[in-house]
Amino acid sequence: MRNGILLLILAAVFAAAAELEVRHLDNGLTVIVSSDDISPVVTICIAVKTGATCETPETNGLAHFYEHMFFKGNSALPDQTIYRQRMGELGIINNGATSTERVWYHITLGSDNFEEGLQFMFDAITSPLFDMVEMERERDVIMNEYDRKTSHPLWLLWLAQEQVIYADAPWRQSSIGVPEIIQAASPSAMEYFQEMYYTPDNSALIIAGDVDYEEAFMLAEQLFSQWEYGGRSNYDILPRLISIERDTTVYVDSPSGAGFVSVIFEGPSISTDPGASYPADVWGSYLGLMSREYYTDLVTNGPFISISGSYYTQRFSPRISFSGMVHPDRAEEALSLLLEEIDQLQSPDYYDAEGLILAKEELDRHRIMAEETSRDVAIESLPFWWVVAGNLEYYSTYSDSINAVEPEDINSFLEIWIKGKPHAAFIMMPLDAEESQQ
């Protein structure tokens, strides 16, 4: 009985969090409201269709730099001291993030300050100052981030993958950017990104929490209708980035001594083939089951310390990845066994009915956790699906579509995207000087 009660509670939380309404302002802004009165708080998020994928070699890193300047003063709160004081008065918790295909900013505050919070976000998105003193401070912060990322044990592997599978424009896969661009960034560079991408027709305003639907839409329209239409973004017409034309094996030096093996295939873009993403997700979840053949063959009885297999949902760089840690002395053996296992994945007998049920249940749990609170809905779920999928229809039908996946759907996905298709393999292990030059 206790299990039944728990399931009912989880279902109720899921249903409440997923309930939302969408409207569009005349200037093109998408407004999404999800009402949840469990706690007297509200999260306001602005998602923007930009990121590294919009950059060029001359602008690589500017999308991330812009994100750092978002909460750094504007025409309404020009002084940083006054800015922070206002945040304290309203009880604001704020943050932002940049990925390859999206940028998003959010604040959480008491719902009694909802209207003031909307004004705060409106001023931040429409009238940033790009003060040079603040830019210098953030430049140091960003360079520290760059240093941390480039000191990661897998940095050289990530760099090799960018150069090989995103060879046409590797900078579009590098959110952190390059030091030369970061060091040279100026107010005019920020203004370029603002004019190009920070417009209502390229953005979504997401409001989730203890608010009334009609009041939220009314206040959003009154305020954000003043945001001037842009029409300059090239986001929706950018070309596909990932390209693997032939089987390739790349050896990458491992200064830390770590061993890592990865095999990557091109995957379906969610913008052109959204239907393929459902069997891809179920399939990836199945491979994550430690009780099934993929894990037992490669970890329990094989050379891998850890192993994963997954499809990464993206518009421009969707990929199917198999990867794991290995002892460096067994890296080449591990790659050989992994490729053999990938061949076996294409057999219908590889998957059992019980395992597919477990895989779907795991995806359902992830969905519930991603919507556990209104804040999660506003910053974890809706910005990703609105930007990457292009609308929220995919998001709203995701669970039903996942549970409708049949074994033949998985076989079809594997037939189209893996069977006989070229792959890029990466072996990371300590190399001698001659091997490193190769």
> Could you report the per-residue pLDDT of 308-357, keeping only the tens digit for each?
999 999 999 999 999 999 999 999 999 999 999 999 998 888 999 999 99
The whole-number average pLDDT for the span 418-434 is: 90
Q: Is residue 248 within 8 Å of 425, Cβ to Cβ?
A: yes
C-alpha distance from residue 82 to each of 33, 44, 121 (Å)? 30, 21, 15
State how far Cα 49 lies from the chain centre: 12
- Report the mean per-residue pLDDT for the chain: 93
Residue 19: its pLDDT value, please? 85
| 230, 53, 30, 125 alpha-carbon torsion, rounded to 10° | -60
**Topology alike, domains 2-232 and 248-437:** yes
| Phi, psi (rounded to 5 degrees) for 299 | -110, -60
Residue 15: its pLDDT value, please? 37
Higher pLDDT, 257 or 433: 257
Got the DSSP string for 161-208? HHHHHTTT-GGGG-SS--HHHHHH--HHHHHHHHHHH-SGGGEEEEEE
The whole-number average pLDDT for the span 172-179 is: 96
* pLDDT for 8 beyond 50: no
**How far is 290 from 175, CA to CA, in rounded Å?**
32
Length of the chain in terms of residues written: 438
Domain residue ranges in the chain: 2-232, 248-437
Each residue of 375-417: pLDDT tens digit?
A: 999 998 999 999 999 889 999 999 999 999 999 999 999 999 9
The whole-number average pLDDT for the span 61-79 is: 95
Angle at 389 between CA 224 and CA 396, to 5 degrees: 85
Residue 432: its pLDDT value, please? 78
**How far is 156 from 426, CA to CA, in rounded Å?**
11
Each residue of 256-308: pLDDT tens digit?
A: 999 999 999 999 999 999 999 999 999 999 999 999 999 999 999 999 999 99
Q: What is the CATH number of domain 2-232?
A: 3.30.830.10
Extended beta strands in 202-354, E state: 203-209, 248-253, 259-266, 308-312, 319-326
Lowest-confidence region among 86-90, 171-175, 252-256, 433-437: 433-437
Residue 433: its pLDDT value, please? 53
Residue 1: its pLDDT value, please? 36
Q: Which value, in Å, is the radius of gyration of the alpha carbons in the chain?
A: 23
**How far is 169 from 374, CA to CA, in rounded Å?**
37
CATH superfamily of 248-437: Metalloenzyme, LuxS/M16 peptidase-like (3.30.830.10)
| Burial of 252: CB neighbours in 10 Å, binned 0-12, 13-18, 19+ | buried
Lowest-confidence region among 18-22, 34-38, 147-151: 18-22
Residue 346: its pLDDT value, please? 85
| Ramachandran area for residue 209 (φ above 0: left; ψ -120 to 50: alpha; else beta) | left
**pTM of this prediction?**
0.92
**How far is 113 from 172, CA to CA, in rounded Å?**
39
Q: Provide, rounded to the nearest whole percent, the portion of the chain with pLDDT above 70.
A: 95
Cβ atoms within 10 A of the Cβ of 72, count? Answer: 19
Q: Which of 192, 199, 196, 195 is nearest to 30 (CA)?
A: 199
Q: Which amino acid is at 368?
A: I
**How far is 195 from 201, CA to CA, in rounded Å?**
12
**How far is 434 from 431, CA to CA, in rounded Å?**
8
**How far is 293 from 354, CA to CA, in rounded Å?**
13
* pLDDT for 17 beyond 70: no
